[in-house]
């Protein structure tokens, strides 16, 4: 990964001249990305002649990449672009809008023309059709480094497109006037709190959080000065993150309030590699493993979840094992951590009940063959 100055990450160009899209992204960062320290500027904020890219991609990710690279080559600044494909159930493939939502029979439709066209599709289907948007995003750091995502995690839930449009209009988002919630059977505009779907909105912010983390996160070897922070992280994470899967009695047994500092020494004694994740001088996670291929510990700060920290620690640990020719890794996963390990390619080979501090716990013995698909590069999210 190339070096980038942290100040460059404080302002990123959104490759769009659409005021509604720019306002939407800025609102996301105001609502969910306040801690990232990133501000968004649009193409209209830049005094520069910027050619319009030729969007020739046949899916949202390709078009997002084409646009972002085109803008980067003119601006030589960090720039991202998004693209969306609309897919309608039971519509013939040759009629699917896909990335050409506004393009029908070679003509680019205005907002009003889009409302007329798509309400007609709904009318032909009996009054409504089920549809969903698939979103993609591409952030260009330089000619050789890009961060991309196209997934349901940054895409809204399915919805109805209906025949009769709502009276409300929003420039740049004409189909919102035809959109009805499947769950509520009400126009989006008539919901008590109309939002663009918090789930996928947060997904966009999380994408940038992972990118920023990739430049700010350090994975270092444990030092005695880390002891106090690690113990606090361990206690708080267990009582917060694991609380959905365990009783209060189990949480107290696992991580008591009067936790003894000797716990860290016991961890060190049984492990050969003890890593600490540090972001801006704050400890945000730790993990440990031994020379027998046992992945022993993995904890992430409760306030820094789902932004790639666990993945970064696990990548380093697995690379360490692979480099010393350990190709089979085992772990004893909790109820909470089991899905994470499964996502990384670990499989359950057994289930065990363990007694600890007077409480019973269910753990899952898991295994992974690193030689199957291990990528030697570290830090890929």
Kindly tell me if the per-residue pLDDT of 8 is higher than 80.
no
Report the DSSP beta bridge partners of residue 290: none
pLDDT given at position 72:
94
Kindly tell me if the per-residue pLDDT of 2 is higher than 80.
no
Summarize the confidence of residues 74-84 as an average pLDDT: 93
Average pLDDT score, the chain: 89
pLDDT band of residue 374 (cuts 50, 70, 90) is low
Say which range, 19-23, 59-63, 329-333, has the weakest mean pLDDT: 19-23
pLDDT given at position 34:
66
Please tell me the class of the 222-373 domain: alpha beta
pLDDT given at position 212:
81
Summarize the confidence of residues 23-38 as an average pLDDT: 80
pLDDT given at position 199:
60
* pTM (whole model) above 0.75: no
pLDDT digits (tens, 9 = 90+) for 266-287: 999 999 999 999 988 899 999 9
Cβ density class 191-201: b for 16+ within 10 Å, e for less = eeeeeeeeebb
Q: Taking the domains of the chain in order of start, what are their residue ranges?
A: 6-215, 222-373
Q: How far is CA 212 from CA 23, 165, 171, 307, 310, in A?
A: 22, 41, 32, 9, 15
Q: Say yes or no: do domains 6-215 and 222-373 share a fold.
A: no
For domain 6-215, give its CATH number from 3.40.50.2000, 3.90.950.10, 3.40.1190.20, 3.30.460.80: 3.90.950.10
Kindly tell me if the per-residue pLDDT of 1 is higher than 80.
no
pLDDT given at position 378:
39
Q: How far is CA 323 from CA 252, 292, 341, 371, in A?
A: 38, 13, 20, 11
pLDDT given at position 7:
43
* Residue ranges of E strands in the chain: 11-14, 39-42, 79-88, 103-104, 107-108, 128-142, 145-150, 159-162, 179-180, 217-221, 273-279, 282-289, 294-300, 328-333, 347-356, 359-369
Return the top range by mean pLDDT from 184-198, 294-308, 366-380.
294-308
pLDDT digits (tens, 9 = 90+) for 173-207: 899 999 999 988 999 999 865 555 566 778 888 88
pLDDT given at position 223:
97
Distance between CA atoms of residues 163 and 105, nearest Å: 21
């Amino acid at each position: 990964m190339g070096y980038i100055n942290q100040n460059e990450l404080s302002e990123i160009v959104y490759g769009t001249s659409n005021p509604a899209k720019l306002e939407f992204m800025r609102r996301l960062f105001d609502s969910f990305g306040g801690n990232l320290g990133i501000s968004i500027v649009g193409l209209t904020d830049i005094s520069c002649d910027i050619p319009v890219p030729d969007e020739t991609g046949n899916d949202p990710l390709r078009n997002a990449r084409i646009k972002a690279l085109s803008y980067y080559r003119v601006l030589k600044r960090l720039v991202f672009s998004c693209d969306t494909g609309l897919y309608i159930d039971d519509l013939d493939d040759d009629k699917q809008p896909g990335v050409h939502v506004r393009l029908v029979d070679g003509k680019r439709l205005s907002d009003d023309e889009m409302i007329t066209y798509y309400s007609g599709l709904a009318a032909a289907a009996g009054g409504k059709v089920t549809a969903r948007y698939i979103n993609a995003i591409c952030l260009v750091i330089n000619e050789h480094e890009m961060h991309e995502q196209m997934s349901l995690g940054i895409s809204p839930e399915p919805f109805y497109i209906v025949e009769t449009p709502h009276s409300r209009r929003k420039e740049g988002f004409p189909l919102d006037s035809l959109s009805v919630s499947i769950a509520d059977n009400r126009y989006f505009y008539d919901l008590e709190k109309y939002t663009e779907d918090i789930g996928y909105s947060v997904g966009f912010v999380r994408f940038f959080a992972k990118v920023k983390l990739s430049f700010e996160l350090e994975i270092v070897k444990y030092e005695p000065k880390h002891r106090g922070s690690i113990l606090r992280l361990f206690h708080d994470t267990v009582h917060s993150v694991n609380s959905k899967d365990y009783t209060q009695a189990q949480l107290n047994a696992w991580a008591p309030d009067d936790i003894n500092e000797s716990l860290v020494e016991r961890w060190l004694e049984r492990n050969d590699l003890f890593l600490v994740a540090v972001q801006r001088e704050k400890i945000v996670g730790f993990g440990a493993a031994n020379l027998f291929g046992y992945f022993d510990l993995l904890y992430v700060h409760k306030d820094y979840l789902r932004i790639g920290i666990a993945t970064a620690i696990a990548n380093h640990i697995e690379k360490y094992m692979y480099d010393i020719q350990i190709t089979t890794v085992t772990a004893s996963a909790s109820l909470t951590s089991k899905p994470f390990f499964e996502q990384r390619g670990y499989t359950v080979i057994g289930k065990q009940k363990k007694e600890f501090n007077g409480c019973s716990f269910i753990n899952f013995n898991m295994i992974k063959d690193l030689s199957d698909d291990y990528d030697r590069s570290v830090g890929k999210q």
